[in-house]
Amino acid sequence: MLAVPPSQPESPRLRPDEYAARVWAVIRRAARRVGIPGYASLHAFTGAEEAAVKAALRGRSWTLVHPTNWRKTFPSRPGRQERVARETLAELRGWRPV
């Protein structure tokens, strides 16, 4: 597992175009490898720098093709969700969370 960079609220804030470049880096590779200077969390960053985030996304299609969202793009086989839900509940009931 990759190490999560520490929050960087004490770092000086960047210009909007620099934040947009950071967001583009998150899209292109694992989000855990990119730090956001000037903000304690990704939530705080996206709330304060909404325009930079939207500029970096370059359109709505990225949310569909991003590797973490493949389940939304390609539907699963019938019954798969029910099977996974049953397996997950069995793991939780047996105190074996995955």
Task: Answer whether residue 15 shows pLDDT above 60.
Answer: yes
pTM of the full predicted structure? Answer: 0.44
In 3D, which of 56, 58, 57, 21 has the Cα closest to residue 37?
21
CB 37 within 8 A of CB 11: yes
Q: Which two tokens stand for residue 96?
A: 């074996």
- Collapsing DSSP to helix, strand or coil, 87 comes out as helix
pLDDT at 8: 73
List the structure tokens of 6: 């520490």
Q: How confident is the model at residue 86 (pLDDT cuts 50, 70, 90)?
A: very high
**Reported confidence tier of residue 7, pLDDT bands at 50, 70, 90:** low
